[in-house]
Chains A and B, each alone.
Chain A
Amino acid sequence: MKPTTLILSATALLASAAPARAQLTAIRGATVYVEPGVVEKNATVVIDGDTIVAAGKGVAVPGGATVIDGTGKIVTAGLVEASTDLGLTEVDEERSTVEGAFARTPDQAIHAAYRVIDGFNPRSVAIPIARTGGVTSAVATPRGGLVAGTSAWLMLRDGGISDMLVKAPLAMYVTLGERSESAAHGSRGLAVEELRELLDDAREYARRRGAFERNQTRKFAAERLDLEALGPVVSGRLPLVVRVDKAADILAALGVAREFGARLVIEGGTEAWMVARELAAARVPVILDPIDNLPSNFDRIHVRDDAPAILVRAGVTIAISTLGAGAFARTLRQRAGNAIRAGLPPAAALAAVTTGPAAIFGVRDRGRIARGEAADLVVWSGDPFELSTQAEHVFVGGVEQSLVTRQTLLFRRYR
């Protein structure tokens, strides 16, 4: 092994994480995936500040722009990891490093007022590693309990929370089915009942806030801040993400959402393909992991590989996600590739990691390579889903990000 002369400079590189400044940049002569299904060859993309100001064939490179030769490269919008503990979990098995993961016990069931953004670590070593997989945005989600709290959409730019935050609160998270039983006294039916009571109380609280302050309401099932946080859910402004796998439980969630006018999103959704028609009719999207194909519990008995393809064919908006460990966020594109292998059209796979999550969470101006969109994009050495491909340039909010990670430094120390 070689001596370790590179350590200092490499460390300095990583430590200089003060956000680099956005500058005028042009990517020239690339194959640009303008949006899923729309490809322009030999196109130029111009980034100014944090925005894409021009994209397409025949776009001129402005004077003074830093030019990246895109010949033979593919440019896509940055990928979005639609449900992850990135920035919340540093080392999964060390409880002291895990944030926003609540116990599944009845006394720990309701955390509606919890906001991941208050516990998010913008300097997690997993963030630069996720970027090497072309992931430029992450939806950091709380976990556990019956109601876990609200998520945030973060762009994975070096810096602090203010450099990264795109939208929070983004959505409210609820768990039903087998995973909710322990939080609801051992019954999935009770979990649905508790959720209905909670949403009913939230609606009542929103209507009679004054009476509540004067102590003139009945006793509510949750604390004031939790009821407050659920207000936007019952008014249909904040998406309600229900983590659920079994077809019957998905329909139960659909029923609750209809009853309270909530904007439902299904996460997990192993058996969603069985109720694809109902989900499409109710415009309920699904966030799923296409490679998790084992009947790993009795809620997932009817799992199948081509579920993403079935859902998309039925008209359901999907997002592909690793559904969990931020350490694995860089494998997002491999998961999308496997969904293609199992029958999902490539354009739909690209949508499921770009425009899909943006549509699901109502985040605008992200997911396309077009004028006015946020400059979150990746210059790939080839097909973004292929294993041989490398993310060569990653721009987040108009700033090219370093692809040097802690792992790069370890490699350099020991190579």
Chain B
Amino acid sequence: MTRLLPGVALTLLAAGCGAANAHHHTAKEPKLDVIGDWSDPEADLPVSRTPPMPGPEAAVHNPAAKPIAITHATIMTARGETLKDATIVLDHGAITALGKDVAIPAGARTVDGSGKFVTPGIIDVHSHIGVYAVPYVGALADGNEATNSNTADVRSEYGYYAQDPAITRAAAGGITTAQILPGSANLIGGRGYVLVMKPGTSARDLHFPGAPQTLKMACGENPKRVYGEKGGPSTRMGEYAAFRAAFQAAAEYNAKLTAYKRDRALWLKKKARAAELDAKAGKDPRKHITPEAAPAPVPVDRKLETLAGVLRGEILPQIHCYRADDIRQMVAIADEFGFHIRAFHHALEAYKVRDLLVKHGIAIATWADWWGFKMEAFDGIPENAALFQQAGGRPTIHSDDPVGIQRLNQEASKAMWAGRHAGIEVTDDQALRWITANPAWVLGIDQLTGTLEVGKRADVVLWSANPFSVYAAAELTIAGGQVTYDRTVGLVPTDFELGNSGIAGPAKGASR
């Protein structure tokens, strides 16, 4: 679409369109007699500002997933009801039937679930698996880009090691989906990455289809500890000043983008009108339109792009915060700049400000009973999740730990019982939602997964016993209709573990 005439080329370059436009000019293009250049400034920009990813439709349709039926099981749906002696059918990656009398498709792998329990796949919204892969050697530490307190431009996906031995163990604990986050050294640590929990050769294969982008932020002790002697911030004061400065810059960037879009739309209109008039003008040089320089596009700034995405509501903020006052500072900043915080992670003092969080529609992701390891964790109490539930909020239980991720069902159980023992009513279904439907909401994928209902993604766990029991083990973990853990096979060694592991390896006949 670019047409350069010798006389105007220099002007256009000066206007910032960039020499790259010349690439679009080919000798084959017929020369039109419109004077001037109406080149499209957008043509110079990256094709997309986010990497192409499969859309949500791919989450519930997987041609490679063969039918599986689990029969005679207790099915805990995480949407209020528990079905006894029921069947669930999974086909092509989706739940296709659920209930007492359902037809089992021909050729389905049928698993007898008598005496066993079925739940949605477990979702952990806070994991560093793959970015802090085991063994914990420096060479595999890719979780904190601790070179600047604002690295909004980095992505955990790009540091993810898809053969971390922690992956198979998480799947063996019933995990089907997790959010892999950058660490909490930085105020703005970078984008999170929502994945399917199974090994692969690259993070690129493992995206949860259709999951929105997320951003990790952290407040409180960690950033000021890391940056206190690296140029700051060295105090909470500095942290909140830096957050405000970052979002101020993002707001200005957004304003420039908005102005640019408006100017460009206007310019495109003029361009179209000029073309019309020129067409009418024929060979009469006096009637030709004087060209108008295209508005200069806003230079792409990947840090600001991420933060602006937060302001536009396209990227879901996930904020590491422990103390009530830190939580309130971040809520105030979000209110000032007009963005919505999706979840506070760790949030050990959420119980102190639960009404505020519920009012703002902000979820929490917390532990059952972690406390005391740092000052900002000193006031953690086991009733945190239950109190948040009681207040009408959305608690989730997260791990932040490749050992803890293997038993989130137990952690949810402890948090549920801590509430009950303190006189707070928590139902089994609510507690199950702490590790299924609620984390799905935190990640913006609750329309696709997190509960058991026909049409949703076939993310399912078959448990040997009630999942709230310490003795329950995942017998089958199914993600997107495909088995990612089978207890009769056992742990399959990751690449690192091949010939270098204490795990028994697959039973005979099993391979991958």
Contacts and interface: CB of A to CB of B under 8 A. Distances in A.
B329 interface: no
Contacts of B417: 387-388, 390
A407 interface: yes
A198 to B, nearest CB: 29
Interface residues of A, number: 43
B28 interface: no
B382 A334 contact: no
B250 interface: no
Contact of A293 (B371, B403, B413, B470): B403
Interface string B438-463: 00000000000000000000000000
A295 B165 contact: yes
Nearest to A327: B372
Interface in A92-143: 92-94, 126
Nearest to B324: A414
A415 B414 CA distance: 18
A334 B470 contact: yes
Contacts of A293: 169, 403, 406
A175 interface: no
Nearest to A97: B375
A296 interface: yes
Nearest to B422: A411
A92 B371 contact: no
Contacts of B136: 296-297
A388 B375 contact: no
A274 B406 CA distance: 24
Interface in B385-399: 387
Contacts of B410: 334, 338, 387
A325 interface: yes
Nearest to A298: B135
A93 B375 contact: yes
B462 to A, nearest CB: 16
B508 interface: no
Contacts of B221: 93
Nearest to B371: A327
B351 interface: yes
Contacts, number: 117
A300 B382 CA distance: 31
Contacts of B406: 291, 293
A340 to B, nearest CB: 7
A410 B470 contact: no
A201 to B, nearest CB: 35
Contacts of B137: 297-298
Interface string A142-155: 00000000000000
Interface in A288-307: 291-298, 300-304
Interface string A263-294: 00000000101100000000000000001111
Contacts of B470: 334, 337-338, 340-341, 385-387
A188 interface: no
Contacts of B432: none
B134 A91 contact: no
B481 to A, nearest CB: 27
Interface string A321-340: 00001011011001001101
B413 A388 contact: yes
Nearest to B410: A387
B165 A1 contact: no
Interface string A43-60: 000000000000000000
Contacts of A1: 355
Given A295-B135, A341-B471, A407 B169 contact: no
Question: Among the interface residues A94, A303, A327, which one has the most CB atoms of the partner chain B within 10 A?
Answer: A327
Contact of B166 (A294, A331, A414): A294
Nearest to A386: B470
Contacts of B502: 271, 273-274, 295, 301-304
A133 B506 CA distance: 37
A203 B135 CA distance: 39
Interface string B364-387: 000001111111001111110001
B469 interface: yes
B407 interface: yes
Given A293-B403, A407-B382, A414 B414 contact: no
Contact of A91 (B373, B382, B383): B373
A90 B166 CA distance: 30
A293 B503 CA distance: 10
Contacts of B355: 1
**Cβ-closest 8 pairs across A and B:** A302-B502, A337-B470, A327-B372, A93-B374, A304-B502, A387-B413, A407-B381, A92-B373
Interface of B: 134-137, 165-166, 169, 221, 351-352, 355, 369-375, 378-383, 387, 402-403, 406-407, 410, 413-414, 417, 421-422, 468-473, 496-497, 500-504
Given A274-B502, A334-B414, 4 more contacts: A294-B165, A338-B407, A338-B470, A411-B387
27 contacts: A1-B355, A90-B372, A91-B373, A93-B374, A94-B374, A291-B407, A293-B406, A294-B134, A294-B165, A294-B402, A295-B496, A296-B134, A301-B501, A304-B502, A325-B372, A325-B373, A327-B370, A328-B369, A330-B369, A340-B471, A341-B471, A341-B472, A385-B470, A407-B381, A411-B351, A411-B422, A414-B352
